[in-house]
Amino acid sequence: MNNWNRNVVYLYKTMILQRITYWLIAPVLYSLSLLPFAVLHLISDLFSFLLNHVLGYRKQMIDKYLKQIFTDLPMDERIAIRNKFYRNLGDVIVETIKSITLSPNAIQKRYKMVNVEVLTQYEKKGQTAFIVCGHYSNWEWMASLGLQFESAVPYLIYSPLRNPYFDRFIQRIRRKYNVFLLARQKTMVTLHEEEKKGKAGVYGFAMDQSPRLKTKSYWRPFLGIRVPVFTGAERLAKEYNIPLVFASINRIKRGYYEVVFEVLEENPADKPDYRITDRFYEKLEAQIYRDPSQYLWSHRRFKHAGKES
């Protein structure tokens, strides 16, 4: 068997395995999503306990960074932050599952967008806007922002799942909230085409992603740790002079959230390089210092620390 045939066989086996995995797991997720929030939050408590005290999911890494960042806090307070983080993570997971069957009306009652006119003003002007946030609180429910628009096309920038069946599954869930998922690699082309047609859109970026290391990476302190930072949203905003709006997400009580919008930059084209990115991180840092337990400490944001050449 030559290499080409081996590759075909490998791809075929992978596709079959992915399909079987989807058929086995998707019905379970759908069934879980039908449970009431009270039951799902009990499941979240169990799941967070397992992650924290049984599996120790990335616990050493989390403890390391909490110690580096919150140097003045005693150990018991850092442990309390870590324990609350695991609970937050459990809630985000079960609430994301709940969105499979959660109606648009129901999610809007639990995910209040306080001053959404700060964002929708650009649709009324026929302008495209970028909305930026971090992996803070329940960022997954930001998908419901699509329900706020009449004509603008809302996109959430994401990294496609390796399993195409689950990827399409997630896309269908998001479409229920009038949002399109846009692969990060296609963002520039899509934005260029939409702008050329004069179509106003809304593009959502989680800007605290960890970029690949490059010789020209932009490095800055984040929570006191020097790391390379993602600048793609700023570069696109400057090229097309698209305003950026910061979304500050916060849990009001369990299962209920509030989002406050603030214009980060109205006219980015003439601003110095990295000013917008710096302002974003300043806003995100302020959120995290107010309540560090709601940040996603497990997403390896600091993995490149100390590698600056």
Whether residue 74 is found in the same domain as residue 166: no
Yes or no: say if 57 and 26 are a contact pair by the CB < 8 Å rule: no
Predicted confidence at residue 215, as pLDDT, reads 65
Whether residue 24 is found in the same domain as residue 92: yes
Q: Which of 34, 68, 98 is the last residue of a domain?
A: 98
Whether residue 217 is found in the same domain as residue 289: yes
Q: Is residue 305 part of a domain?
A: no
Whether residue 235 is found in the same domain as residue 256: yes
Whether residue 89 is found in the same domain as residue 109: no
Whether residue 279 is found in the same domain as residue 179: yes
Predicted confidence at residue 4, as pLDDT, reads 58
Whether residue 189 is found in the same domain as residue 87: no
pTM of the model: 0.92
Cα 211 from chain centre? 14
What residues of the chain score a pLDDT lower than 50?
none
Q: Is residue 306 part of a domain?
A: no
Query: Bridge-partner residues for 295, per DSSP?
Result: 136
Q: Is residue 307 part of a domain?
A: no
Whether residue 89 is found in the same domain as residue 115: no
Whether residue 24 is found in the same domain as residue 91: yes
Q: Tell me which amino acid residue 173 is.
A: I
Predicted confidence at residue 5, as pLDDT, reads 58
Whether residue 180 is found in the same domain as residue 83: no
Residues in the chain: 309
Yes or no: say if 201 and 153 are a contact pair by the CB < 8 Å rule: yes
Predicted confidence at residue 151, as pLDDT, reads 87
Q: Which two tokens stand for residue 179?
A: 């949002």
Q: Tell me which amino acid residue 73 is.
A: L
Domain residues for the domain of 93 are 3-98
Query: Can you tell me whether residue 237 is helix, strand or coil?
Result: helix
Predicted confidence at residue 186, as pLDDT, reads 95
The number of folded domains in the chain is 2
Q: Is residue 264 part of a domain?
A: yes
Q: Which of 53, 82, 98 is the last residue of a domain?
A: 98
Whether residue 45 is found in the same domain as residue 157: no
Query: Can you tell me whether residue 200 is helix, strand or coil?
Result: coil
